[in-house]
Amino acid sequence: MIRVAVVDDHPLVREGTAALIDRQDDMEIAGVAGSLDELRPILRDGAVEVLLLDLRLGDESGFDVLRSEDSPMPAVVVVTSYDYPQYADAALRLGAAGFVVKTAPTAELLDAIRRAAAGGLHFGVRPGRGVSLSDREREVVRLVVDGSSNDEIGARLGISSRTVESHLRRLFERHAVASRTELASRAIREGWLEGIG
């Protein structure tokens, strides 16, 4: 069972979300809260696996939970009314496992919970929309994500492995990543490639 906690300052949203989760065969509610003060004791025992977090909690900010160094910290799925890529980007950078807009279908929220519990990511609003790749860079990144070696990428695209290395070196520098794994991870997390993540 995936143990889920909900923090939202609107009682109707909070209780409605809790009722939806309780109806799932693989989930149960570990607690509900309307503020960060109410949330702290719920998180204290480490029994929560996924936290559904509203960003606006009256005068408080859900981002403060993401910035917290308290442990243990469950996987966090941001559930918000704000359909802003910059908020999704901030949530991702602060370690959130998901970002779902409140107007999304309930199936999307449930999918985000399951992915977060399994160690994955789900972002309904794409962070990193400003990432710009040439067609060739996009092909190289897609093949890196697929796990292809430089030689395999070169053979697939009809270019030398040295040219592949050049593309990767430029991508590493431009996006401040240090490895193929980090490049692939960012591409997936930030939605660089349509249809991935």
Q: Are residues 32 and 81 in the same domain?
A: yes
Q: Does 31 score more than 50 pLDDT?
A: yes
Here the tokens at position 85 are: 């890529």
Based on the domain organization, do 26 and 70 belong to the same domain? yes
* Whole-angstrom distance, CA of residue 182 vs CA of residue 133: 16
pLDDT at 192 over 70: yes
CB within 8 A of 108, min separation 6: which ones? 100, 122, 124
**Both tokens assigned to 5:** 């906690």
How many domains does one find in the chain?
2
Confidence (pTM)? 0.65
Does 38 map to a domain?
Answer: yes
**Lowest mean per-residue pLDDT among 73-77, 78-82, 131-135:** 131-135
| 174 and 95 in a common domain | no
Within this chain, do residues 57 and 93 fall inside the same structural domain, yes or no? yes
Instruction: Between 181 and 196, name the one with better pLDDT.
Output: 181
CA distance 113 to 17: 12
Average pLDDT, rounded, for the chain: 88
**Structural domain harbouring 82:** 2-123
What pLDDT digit, counting tens, does each position of 51-64 carry?
A: 999 988 888 888 88
Computed from CA positions of residues 65, 69, 72, 73, in that sequence, does the dihedral angle turn out positive or negative? positive
